[in-house]
Amino acid sequence: MRRVAQAQQADGTVLWGIVEADFTARTGLTGQDVQLAVEAAPDHDVHYTNPSPHIEALFINPWHQGYTAHPRFAEAAAAVLDASGIGHAELDRLEPASQFVGNSRFWTAYVDFIDATLKAARERLTAEQLALLDSQAADPRRLHHGATYWHFIVERLLPIFLRGPGQALRAHRFDVTERDAKLNGHQRRLREMKDVAHRTKSAWMYSCWLHYRNLYLLQVAGKKWCETHLAAISKPEVHFE
């Protein structure tokens, strides 16, 4: 991110982002789709979207989804957030997922935030913790070309940044209608319930969502998957923004 940021013009109107090679396959969005969404909401510093709406339906945030995808991810993420001074309470905050593009005002502040976070963490983490974070154990099936834990942690830091150092930036969220249309009825209702809980800060609605979500996962993911993962992602209480 820093290499690309340094290569961009200082003009704050230039918007850019970094995506994976299979971005269109994963999100259903073309470059033109993103451009049209950006043009529909001018005068913003960053435009973001959720390319995986089913994750919003089934997990309180992308961190919890990571618990089910990457071995020892909860341990690694908590270590980094605590060592950087952010605090591991962020792991249990109700929030959306995102992909994003932004102008130089956003990217300068965001890259500085990432650099500061990782520098502070590396200075305070133990040798054992650093060995885990620098390893490829987070990607045992090599679905991400042997990425280390740092990759999966950094890609989840945007909401923390926007609530903190980036709170003065103008942010715009846009929807991925093609992916939204593929949600089944249960996933759609689950996402709506979670959105209401998030918007109203309702512990009662969150509890309703949690019980419904767990029953749904038991049916679609199976007993074995639930025995492995459900306890880690079923927090009786969460932090609201």
Whether the predicted pLDDT of 203 surpasses 90: yes
Q: One-letter amino acid identity for 38?
A: V
Mean pLDDT (whole number) for 23-36: 82
Question: Who has greater pLDDT, 211 or 174?
Answer: 211
Separation CA 43–CA 7 (nearest Å): 22
Cβ-based neighbour number of residue 238 at 10 Å? 21
As given in the structure block, the two tokens for residue 100 are 């994003």
User: What's the rounded Cα separation, in Å, for the pair 195 and 175?
Assistant: 14
Written as six digits, the tokens of 227 are 């025995």
pTM value?
0.90
C-alpha span between 142 and 186 (Å, rounded)? 31
Bridge partners for 49 per DSSP: 99
pLDDT of residue 241: 66
Coil/strand/helix, residue 103: coil
- What's the whole-number mean pLDDT along residues 201-223? 97
Q: How confident is the model at residue 97 (pLDDT cuts 50, 70, 90)?
A: low
